[in-house]
A and B are shown apart, each in its own frame.
Chain A
């Protein structure tokens, strides 16, 4: 580029970089037009709806749902506003990471598999800008996925399950008004997005090293399973603070009444460390990638 400029010094200065917003918007449009993204988002919406209908049909307040369901699900009966939080917790174990990993796999490895990454690498766009643009697509998918679960969860909770007059009964036995309950749902949604960004950063880093999208999916889902296994081994307890998944139970804390922020904050910090490490590896690798 410098050589070109020195050869034509009289050329009027034109814009040599495309605005980042336009690039990101193009990427987001591209990501959202993929049928698999839309199918995954639809499936996520179905999770919340199915959960709500199942609970409305089988359980009721004071029924025999005394801790029979997995995790928070038993709490949803007759207490609809817990549904989005329970659904986010359920989806975070596998479905949401799968969605984000799919998007990350398509972002770099998928382009490489199609041979279209070469074109992007040759385009007069800095490699860091390329990574930012690709990340914007993945972040959009993560935010949309969480939003779909949360919004559909709130609607299903209010319409299908219902609740005590639009209020939420916390695990501590207190009753929150609609506004505060929605605030708690928003808190869990934001926290879930941060956790998903950590998954996305690692997935993008893997994606930057391979040209097979399946490798990214296998690495992320396999990694989650390995983390789960490591967390279950008592003699490896010292490893717990390093594992991303060990903080994933903290979403439940939003249902306790004087809201304990400690676990939510520490798991978010842990996720941010993963985000930083993943981004650095991705950028460094993409700087040197040539096809």
Chain B
């Protein structure tokens, strides 16, 4: 081998290296918007409601810039990007894996039982299927004619927002319609726009993007980064508690939740709706934005900045898309609104 060919080989290898680095560094790249037949928002919403849940395997990427305080055990809530692996049998059975750096939380629904496994604690939590929050939501739309339901839903939305199908996009390699909700100018809200990308073929919502005022980057983007439709291995949807783990039955959550909601009232409607309620006194309670830990009050009192006004004194917690005020006398006001709207609601 002559010196010349060695130089050639060296250059070639260097090229391979450069291309390899390029492949590693290059982002997936935004593909050109696919061309799809136009569709009205009503038709799009009704087709989404009418569509059957398909069998699929996919990876959901959560890009979170909500500015929520970090909640232990649920890294997906804190700022940053996380991936969730999802399998669905299309018939109420499914598996969700929430991987973390050195552990994983696995949720399996085999049609009759929901299992939750936490690899760090090595505990299995068991709950009968259908009583969780997803049950009624799945059953609800089926009871109604999809077209009527869609027309009603879009009409309700139109009272406070502009609803459009704004072009197309490619999400996880699938051509998708973009359904865009924009608050009307009269709405006093922190949100600028909510986009839902809907698979043009299967009419499955693929991506949810929430844009807040004053920021070009999405405050929250949840969507498939990979998706493959098709029947899944049935063994994915069964769960046998591994040896050496403790199995416990889930505490009845549905008793505590309606209680918290019963105490709350809403002020206003549309985008500037404000929930006003009583802060939980140590017991489990659910806040509309889901940022309170179950232990509630002690955590909240450490967060936020003090505010006061004619309505009293308290602490305000501001995130990119929502504001929460916890008053010292135990009231909570929360909404996707600026602080001023909350104080007005509290002053009533």
Assess whether B243 is interfacial by the CB under 8 Å rule: yes
Produce 1/0 per residue, A72-106, CB < 8 A to B. 10110011000000000000000000000000000
Produce 1/0 per residue, B103-147, CB < 8 A to A. 110101000000101011110100000000000000000000000
Interface centre among B1, B122, B245, B246 (most CB of A within 10 A): B122
Using Cβ atoms and an 8 Å threshold, which residues of chain B touch A175? Answer: 240, 242-243
Q: Please determine whether B99 and A164 come into contact, CB atoms closer than 8 angstroms.
A: no
A174 to B109, CA, bound (A): 14
A62-B122, A67-B120, A164-B243 known; A273 vs B17 contact (CB < 8 Å): yes
Partner of B21 from the list A173, A242, A260 (CB cut-off 8 Å) is A242
A171-B119, A258-B85 known; A241 vs B104 contact (CB < 8 Å): no
Interface centre among A165, A272, A276 (most CB of B within 10 A): A276
Using Cβ atoms and an 8 Å threshold, which residues of chain A touch B242? Answer: 164, 169, 173-175
A75 to B104, CA, bound (A): 11
Produce 1/0 per residue, B241-263, CB < 8 A to A. 11111100000000000000000
Assess whether B24 is interfacial by the CB under 8 Å rule: yes
Q: Please determine whether B117 and A258 come into contact, CB atoms closer than 8 angstroms.
A: no
Q: Please determine whether B124 and A173 come into contact, CB atoms closer than 8 angstroms.
A: yes
Using Cβ atoms and an 8 Å threshold, which residues of chain A touch B124? Answer: 173
Residue of A nearest to B119 (CB): A171
Contacting chain B: which of A27-35, A221-229, A279-287?
A: A279-287
Q: Which residues of chain A (192-241) have a CB below 8 Å from chain B? A: 241
Assess whether A252 is interfacial by the CB under 8 Å rule: yes
A242 to B23, CA, bound (A): 10
Q: Which residues of chain B (1-56) have a CB below 8 Å from chain A? A: 1, 3, 6, 10, 13-14, 16-17, 20-21, 23-25
Residue of A nearest to B232 (CB): A258
Assess whether B271 is interfacial by the CB under 8 Å rule: no
A71-B102, A269-B20, A276-B17 known; A173 vs B244 contact (CB < 8 Å): no
Assess whether B87 is interfacial by the CB under 8 Å rule: yes
Q: What bracket does the count of chain A residues touching chain B fall in?
A: 35 or more
Residue of B nearest to A128 (CB): B1
A171 to B122, CA, bound (A): 9
Residue of B nearest to A72 (CB): B102
Assess whether A184 is interfacial by the CB under 8 Å rule: no
Assess whether B267 is interfacial by the CB under 8 Å rule: no
Partner of B244 from the list A164, A171, A276 (CB cut-off 8 Å) is A164
Q: Please determine whether A276 and B104 come into contact, CB atoms closer than 8 angstroms.
A: no
Q: Please determine whether A273 and B24 come into contact, CB atoms closer than 8 angstroms.
A: yes
Residue of B nearest to A69 (CB): B102
A75-B119, A172-B106, A252-B102 known; A276 vs B13 contact (CB < 8 Å): yes
Q: Which residues of chain A (240-291) have a CB below 8 Å from chain B? A: 241-242, 249, 252-253, 256-258, 260, 266, 269-270, 272-273, 276-277, 279-280, 283-284, 287
Residue of A nearest to B12 (CB): A280
Using Cβ atoms and an 8 Å threshold, which residues of chain A touch B347? Answer: none
Partner of A256 from the list B10, B13, B97 (CB cut-off 8 Å) is B97
Using Cβ atoms and an 8 Å threshold, which residues of chain B touch A270? Answer: 20, 24
A164-B242, A173-B117 known; A241 vs B14 contact (CB < 8 Å): no
A241 to B240, CA, bound (A): 38
Partner of A242 from the list B1, B3, B25 (CB cut-off 8 Å) is B25
Q: Please determine whether B10 and A283 come into contact, CB atoms closer than 8 angstroms.
A: yes
A74 to B104, CA, bound (A): 13
Q: Please determine whether B6 and A287 come into contact, CB atoms closer than 8 angstroms.
A: yes
Q: Please determine whether A62 and B246 come into contact, CB atoms closer than 8 angstroms.
A: yes
Assess whether B302 is interfacial by the CB under 8 Å rule: no
Using Cβ atoms and an 8 Å threshold, which residues of chain B touch A171? Answer: 99, 103-104, 106, 119
Q: Please determine whether A280 and B13 come into contact, CB atoms closer than 8 angstroms.
A: yes
CB distance from A229 to the nearest CB of B (A): 18
Using Cβ atoms and an 8 Å threshold, which residues of chain A touch B10? Answer: 280, 283-284
Using Cβ atoms and an 8 Å threshold, which residues of chain B touch A172? Answer: 97, 104, 106, 117, 119
Assess whether B204 is interfacial by the CB under 8 Å rule: no
Using Cβ atoms and an 8 Å threshold, which residues of chain B touch A67? Answer: 102-103, 120-121
Partner of B17 from the list A66, A75, A128, A280 (CB cut-off 8 Å) is A280
CB distance from B221 to the nearest CB of A (A): 17
Partner of A66 from the list B101, B102, B121 (CB cut-off 8 Å) is B121
Assess whether A61 is interfacial by the CB under 8 Å rule: yes
Produce 1/0 per residue, B178-218, CB < 8 A to A. 00000000000000000000000000000000000000000
27 contacts between A and B (CB under 8 A): A66-B120, A71-B101, A71-B102, A74-B102, A75-B102, A78-B244, A128-B1, A164-B242, A172-B104, A172-B106, A173-B106, A173-B119, A173-B239, A173-B242, A174-B240, A175-B242, A242-B25, A258-B87, A260-B99, A269-B23, A270-B20, A272-B20, A273-B20, A273-B21, A276-B13, A283-B10, A287-B6
Given A66-B122, A167-B243, A249-B101, 20 other A-B contacts at CB below 8 A? A61-B244, A62-B244, A66-B121, A67-B102, A71-B102, A78-B244, A171-B99, A173-B115, A173-B241, A175-B243, A256-B97, A257-B97, A260-B85, A269-B20, A269-B23, A273-B16, A273-B20, A276-B17, A280-B10, A283-B6
Counting from the closest, the 3 A-B pairs by CB-CB distance are A173-B117, A164-B243, A273-B20
